[in-house]
Amino acid sequence: MVFRHARRTLGESTVLPGSDPVGDLPSAPPDEFKQRLRMRRFLLASLFAVLYLLVLAIFSTQNMVDLATLVEACVIVGVLIVAFSAAFRSGFNLHFSDPSLTGWQLLSAVYTMLFVIYRNPDTRLAFTAFFFVALIFGMLRMSGRTLAKWGGVSILSFAVVIWLRYVKNGDADMLRLDAMLCAVMALTFPWFVYFGERVKRLERGLTEASIELEDIEDSAWRDELTGVYNRRAINVALDEAKHRADAIDEPLSLCVIDLDHFKRFNDELGHLEGDAVLKAFAHSVQGGLRAADVFGRYGGEEFIQILRHTDLSGAMKEAERLRGRISELELPVSRPIGNLTISVGVAQYQPGEKIMQTFDRADGALRQAKLAGRNRVERASTSRT
């Protein structure tokens, strides 16, 4: 149960305080997870390569790419996909400073397209479009400086291909056209890098702001001193637990817990050590919670534990276990003044009653425990007020 999603429908999955929503699921080791993520990104880049081959096939139908070049391009792309896949699956990529091999993937794509341009100049139109798409892939994983380096190498390589082709065929008109294209790419590329950096900076800022907002929102549900859920959160949890109990006909019980004679810790040791005792108690209870339990501070030295899937008998046993554990708790105080003990009132929710009626019955049982001498657990009657 994450309280900021309190209005979710009962049919949706719920993450409960006291449980680890991630730890309940099987997870891969961090390195293995990162490798799988890199592999997925590479597969996405591979789809980009296949799309380029499809464009070449279309060019081929218009006699702009000869069949031999198309076949050779397919072979080159196939070999590169196999090689990079093997690097990721074997872990060979981990020997590089960038385990994603982003720069090498970018150069492989560019040099494949330059090979095609050298053989079939009419594909320069496809090269321009796919070159900037490749840069977008690189922008997501590289710093602006690194992207500028690899992009600069790519444009310089394009210029070399233009010169080699001119040396081969002496076509001055084609040289001028290619040189203009290369110049346009060289002029627009720095702006591409600049705006890419701005976009990444904005994205980082939005991510940081989102994290800060989540932290602020989470702190609104937490008791500032003990770190457990506060009264506001407990009230929401009580309502949700009641609705769930009504919906699926499951037992629900409440424990209202009070620290016996807590005032003496403040009076004899000071409020700082009294606060330390409260925190030690809260942390001890949190450490012993079951996955479905919700625990929080209702006010002062009074706490509440919500026990789903638990009838009155089960709740009494849980309360007794907690009472015994707290009586043996080692307290962080400067001098001993006696063990910490608790009194607990327990009540089971009765279908049809308001959840605060259940709370009142548990609170009444707590008063009975105090009148009976404290350091005990009392159950509430089933009558409703």
Residues 177 and 47 in one domain: yes
Relative to beta strand 377-379, strand 342-348 is parallel
Lowest mean pLDDT among 54-68, 204-218, 359-373: 204-218
Residues 208 and 235 in one domain: no
Residue 346 and residue 372: Cα distance in Å, rounded? 15
Residues 178 and 249 in one domain: no
Look at residue 297 and tell me if it is in a domain.
Answer: yes
Q: What is the mean pLDDT of the chain?
A: 83
Answer yes or no: is pLDDT of 18 > 80: no
Per-residue pLDDT of 340-377, as tens digits, reads 999 999 999 999 899 999 999 999 999 999 999 999 99
Quick one: pLDDT at residue 222?
Answer: 87
Most confidently modeled range among 61-70, 189-198, 349-358: 349-358
Residue 189 and residue 159: Cα distance in Å, rounded? 14
Beta bridge partners of 229: 222, 296
Q: What is the average pLDDT across 189-203?
A: 75
Residues 93 and 208 in one domain: yes
Lowest mean pLDDT among 7-11, 185-189, 372-376: 7-11
Quick one: pLDDT at residue 100?
Answer: 85
pTM of the predicted protein model:
0.50
* CB crowding 114-152: b at 16 or more within 10 Å, else e: bebbbbbbebbebbbebbeebbebbbebbebebbbebbe
Look at residue 291 and tell me if it is in a domain.
Answer: yes
Lowest mean pLDDT among 10-14, 184-188, 204-208, 312-316: 10-14
- Tell which of 215, 239, 261 closes a domain: 215
Domain count, the chain: 2
Residues 62 and 202 in one domain: yes
Quick one: pLDDT at residue 20?
Answer: 38
Per-residue pLDDT of 224-243, as tens digits, reads 899 899 999 999 999 999 99
Residues 48 and 179 in one domain: yes
Look at residue 319 and tell me if it is in a domain.
Answer: yes
